[in-house]
Structure 1
Amino acid sequence: MVCRTFEQARFRFKKAIKWGFRVSMVGPTLIDIREHIDGLGTKDGQYYVRCGRTGDRPVPAAGTRFPDRATARAAARATEQYRSALRRYDPQVPFYDLIVCEEMSRDTTAAHARESETDSPQDRLTDPVLTDSATPERHDLVEFCHRVAGAVFETLSERGYDGVESAVMHAYFQHAETVGDPDELCLCLLESMASELHKRLTPADQAEVLTDAATRLESPSDDDSPLDASLTALEQRGFIESYTRSPYSVGLDGGAGAVVVQISGYALSAHDKRLPVLPLTLELCRHHTEQSPQSVQVTAVDDGWQLTFSLADTGDQSGLVSASIDGKV
């Protein structure tokens, strides 16, 4: 059964379409809130925001530290406001019980971090605890999907791609009519997003959206191998089960040319002889900021998919969000 929150969201969306109103399921509000939280942060702060139940540090406060307890509380409230705004387009965005924590020293481990007034009412800022039967691996996968979707929706809204936003939501609501599993529905959202970006934006515009959206995700630590870091992160979140990769070929300019990656247990499904690769390329853009993928080629193999990422700028961008599949599916 579709939840009441979803029905309300669908009603508002369809009413806006009927009367020809501009629909922005995310709108500038998310951008404003993120900038507000970024403005509260400081590099050497000892306070941070996390969920008291799961330990997660949710977007958009993830990775940000704050100078004092009061500022961190303000960031926690803004974080809940941000996530409430996300639920206007995706009612399945997880609820968190946000609390403020203090890390005694940057050299100490998480075991030395103490919660700040854990049981104090002013630190419990979200809805009551909801029973969550999902495994930790499934939880990580779902949260990753929401982070990707939120970053892309922010980018589409800021760049004025209202038609793409509306098309994604139409497809999402159609899936929600038949898909009963909320976790499966969040995967459908990414599949719909990849499909609509492919159909409605040029490859150059797709590349700009990916680059912009990657900056809205938590910055990774310095990586010796951005590709391995990207694939390992996807594996840890349950988005792929395993991977192997080749060395990079050498491009005409002496830099990295292309790399072949074989993955198994990919979370997204192929449709119409195309594979949605949006989360893969976005994660690679997040880790490989200096040289993002220029094209992606996909071949069906016995145990999954073989992907060829081309980094060399040949002027032929393709397959960045949804790649054509060679071979039988």
Structure 2
Amino acid sequence: MSGLSAPTGPYAVVCARTAREPVPLAGERFDSREDAERAADMADEYHSALRRYDPEAPRHHLIVRDAAGPPAPRSNADSDVRLRYVAFCHDVSGAVFEALSETGFRAAESAAMETYLTLAEVVEDRDDFCLAMLWSAMNELDIGLDAADQRTVVDAAAELFGGTTRGATRPAPTVGSALERTLARLDEASFLDGYDVAACAGGDAWEATFADYALAERTGRLPTLPIAVDLVRRLPDRPVAFTEATPLADRRWRLRVEAVDLSDSNADDPAGLVSLDAADEGRLNETDYRL
């Protein structure tokens, strides 16, 4: 795909039904209609491969359009809650699997797919296939890669997920505003239900509180990968770390996000971008904590 795209090309590939640019074409531009059509064919093959593992993977009717022109017609499907949820899961999963391949972590990619295929045999709800795929990728990243390698994969997945944003002329968002937009996107996709973001005293840290998180576990771990992929996409030049996850009542979590200064030679690689151990694990077993 990278051999066909051009940063300032006049053509883009979108889904005719939703007018969105699906992974792995999000943000890609092409110098000619022919290159865009070839990329669309490759993306169709990619999505067909996904459907071999998950029959619920979205089907995209891909078309080429002028990147500077009006968006393609939208359909009522865009307002379908289930479609947004499934599409979000698959877009994140697809970006992560593609990133594992691009960054050379083939063993983790294979292990994640093996884990997913095992889980798929016992999944009963069809909407859980996409969540199982996302969880499988998260789990193998968590157990198989260190913080530096996790950051490499998350950075690559972030660019694939939403297109490259480096060099944009509009003002860069603050960490706090980017975090709010990320949680709003997850809320829109029904991946969580309700959220709040508050700046911490002292600056360079924020606390996000959210409920009914789709990947919540009782294992003492909060999977953060989908939040990280979307947030890093919005902050390509502002590294962040997830430093604390605390379970609260009523299926809520509090997540602490901190800006990281990598110019400091003593700074560690951003951590928590895949998962975090719960700060109060015992809270998960209390009667008012429900999944």
Please report the TM-score for the alignment, with normalisation by the length of structure 2.
0.79
2:59 counterpart of 1:95 = yes
More deviation, 298-307/177-186: 177-186
Match of 1:177 among 117, 121, 125: 121
2:112 counterpart of 1:168 = yes
Match of 1:257 among 188, 201, 204: 204
Structure-1 separation of matches of 2:232 and 2:100: 17
- Shift in Å at residue 51 of structure 1? 2.9
Aligned to 2:152: 208
Aligned to 1:307: 255
Structure-2 separation of matches of 1:206 and 1:318: 8
- Helix, strand or coil: the match of 1:216? helix
Aligned 8 A contact 1:227 1:288 in 2: no
Structure-2 separation of matches of 1:134 and 1:286: 22
More deviation, 76-85/173-182: 76-85
**Where does the alignment leave 5 or more consecutive residues of structure 2 unmatched?**
262-266, 285-291
2:240 counterpart of 1:296 = no
Instruction: Give 1 or 2 for the bigger CA radius of gyration.
Output: 1
Aligned to 1:237: 189
- Helix, strand or coil: the match of 1:213? helix
- Shift in Å at residue 271 of structure 1? 4.3
Structure-2 separation of matches of 1:326 and 1:88: 38
Aligned to 2:287: none
Structure-2 separation of matches of 1:114 and 1:263: 33
Q: How does 1:54-133 map to 2 (within 5 A)?
A: 54-66=18-30, 69-87=33-51, 89-102=53-66, 106=69, 110=71
What amino acid is aligned across from residue 58 of structure 2 in structure 1?
P
Structure-1 separation of matches of 2:139 and 2:79: 29
Aligned 8 A contact 1:191 1:269 in 2: no
2:94 counterpart of 1:150 = yes
Structure-2 separation of matches of 1:64 and 1:193: 24
Match of 1:320 among 259, 273, 286: 273
Question: What percent identity do the matched residue pairs reach?
Answer: 36
Aligned 8 A contact 2:151 2:273 in 1: yes
Aligned 8 A contact 1:154 1:213 in 2: yes
More deviation, 280-289/80-89: 80-89
Q: How does 1:131-146 map to 2 (within 5 A)?
A: 136-146=80-90
- Shift in Å at residue 37 of structure 1? 4.0
1:189–1:236 Cα change, 3 Å: same
Give deviations 1:33-84, integer Å, cap 9, x for gaps. Answer: x214424x744x2x44333344443223334444554444333223212323
- Helix, strand or coil: the match of 2:22? coil
Structure-2 separation of matches of 1:218 and 1:134: 17
Structure-2 separation of matches of 1:243 and 1:302: 14
Higher relative contact order (CA 8 A, sep 6+): 2
**Where does the alignment leave 5 or more consecutive residues of structure 1 unmatched?**
1-33, 116-131, 251-255
What amino acid is aligned across from residue 265 of structure 1 in structure 2?
D
* Count of matched residue pairs: 267
Aligned to 1:186: 130
Please report the TM-score for the alignment, with normalisation by the length of structure 1.
0.71
What amino acid is aligned across from residue 155 of structure 1 in structure 2?
A
What amino acid is aligned across from residue 206 of structure 2 in structure 1?
V
- Shift in Å at residue 307 of structure 1? 0.4
Structure-1 separation of matches of 2:39 and 2:104: 27
- Shift in Å at residue 100 of structure 1? 3.3
Give deviations 1:87-144, integer Å, cap 9, x for gaps. Answer: 45544422222233457x65xx54xx689xxxxxxxxxxxxxxxx9997222122112
1:54–1:200 Cα change, 3 Å: same
Structure-2 separation of matches of 1:134 and 1:55: 9
Match of 2:5 among 20, 38, 42: 38
Aligned to 1:282: 229
Match of 2:215 among 254, 268, 290: 268
1:71–1:204 Cα change, 3 Å: closer
More deviation, 86-95/180-189: 86-95
What amino acid is aligned across from residue 63 of structure 2 in structure 1?
I
- Shift in Å at residue 147 of structure 1? 1.7
